[in-house]
């Protein structure tokens, strides 16, 4: 199977389970803490500058955005986490939304894409999100973004720290990525297509 990531359209935002899409198409769920570059990674994948911001409006950070790729799979942009200025009420809304997404969609998530910052040890929130993907049983791809910010000699130790913190095995995919420069894009697309049964 091939998927043309250049053919992409925003479908809808969901702020509760009544808006989830359940038409059986594969779902690639993207998660990451705020500012890690999740929108930039998505925009890079689909060769658009602003796609991943389409559904986002100020003060409405707790929503899931669905994009349809090539009429055949959904790219699901889960709301970012770990932003310090978010109120307690908003955090709770985030928790409820994620809980219902994982409850409903377990078994339906084709692949989880967890985006972390290659420069830093994954945070406690990253570990929690990683556990949610694991518990859902879906294959997971870890994207280590902002590769361009490291010197070559720093890359391997940084990847080792991510592997160790998330307790990844040899089978878990860890993709060094730069949303800024485009490195890792082809690998990520190949892995996603593979998880789709291609």
Footprint of ligand GDP (CB under 6 A): 32, 34-40, 80, 145-146, 148-149, 178-180
Residue closer to ligand GDP (CB basis): 1 or 85: 85
Cα–Cα distance for residue pair 176/180, rounded to 1 Å? 12
Least gap, CB of 138 to ligand GDP (angstroms): 21
Min. distance of Cβ 134 from ligand GDP in angstroms?
Answer: 21
Q: Under DSSP, is residue 79 helix (H, G, I), strand (E, B) or coil?
A: coil
CA angle 155, 156, 161 (to 5 degrees): 100
Contact between residue 80 and residue 29 where contact means Cβ atoms under 8 Å apart: no
Q: Toward ligand GDP, which CB reaches closer, 182 or 198? A: 182
Nearer of residues 59 and 197 to ligand GDP, judged by Cβ: 59
Min separation Cβ 22 and ligand GDP, Å: 26
Q: How far is the CB of 183 from ligand GDP (least distance, A)?
A: 8
Nearer to ligand GDP, 143 or 191 (CB): 143
Q: Which is nearer to ligand GDP, 110 or 145 (CB)?
A: 145
Q: How far apart are CA 125 and CA 191, in angstroms?
A: 24
Q: How far is the CB of 120 from ligand GDP (least distance, A)?
A: 13
Going by C-alpha positions, the residue among 193, 198, 141 that lies closest to residue 166 is 141
* Bridge partners, residue 33, by sequence: 81
- The residue at minimum Cβ distance from ligand GDP is 37
Contact indicator for 74, 111 with CB cutoff of 8 Å: no
Close Cβ partners of 184 (under 8 Å, ≥ 6 residues apart): 143, 147, 175, 176, 177, 178
């Amino acid at each position: 199977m091939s998927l043309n990531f250049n053919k992409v359209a925003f479908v809808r935002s969901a702020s509760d389970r009544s808006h989830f899409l359940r038409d059986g198409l594969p779902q690639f769920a993207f998660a990451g803490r705020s500012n890690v570059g999740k929108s930039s990674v998505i925009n890079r994948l689909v060769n658009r500058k602003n796609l991943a911001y389409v559904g986002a409006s100020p003060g409405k950070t707790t929503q899931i955005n669905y994009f349809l790729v090539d009429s055949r799979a959904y790219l699901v942009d889960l709301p970012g986490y770990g932003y310090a200025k978010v109120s307690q009420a908003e955090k709770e809304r985030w928790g409820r939304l994620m809980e219902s997404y994982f409850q409903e969609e377990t078994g339906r998530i084709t692949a989880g894409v967890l985006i972390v910052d290659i420069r830093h040890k994954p945070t406690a929130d990253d570990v929690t999100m990683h556990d949610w993907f694991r518990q859902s049983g879906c294959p997971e791809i870890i994207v280590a973004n902002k590769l361009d910010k490291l010197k070559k000699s720093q890359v391997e130790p940084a990847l080792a720290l991510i592997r160790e913190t998330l307790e990844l095995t040899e089978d878990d995919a860890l993709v060094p990525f730069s949303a800024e420069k485009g490195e890792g894009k082809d690998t990520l697309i190949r892995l996603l297509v593979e998880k789709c049964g291609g």
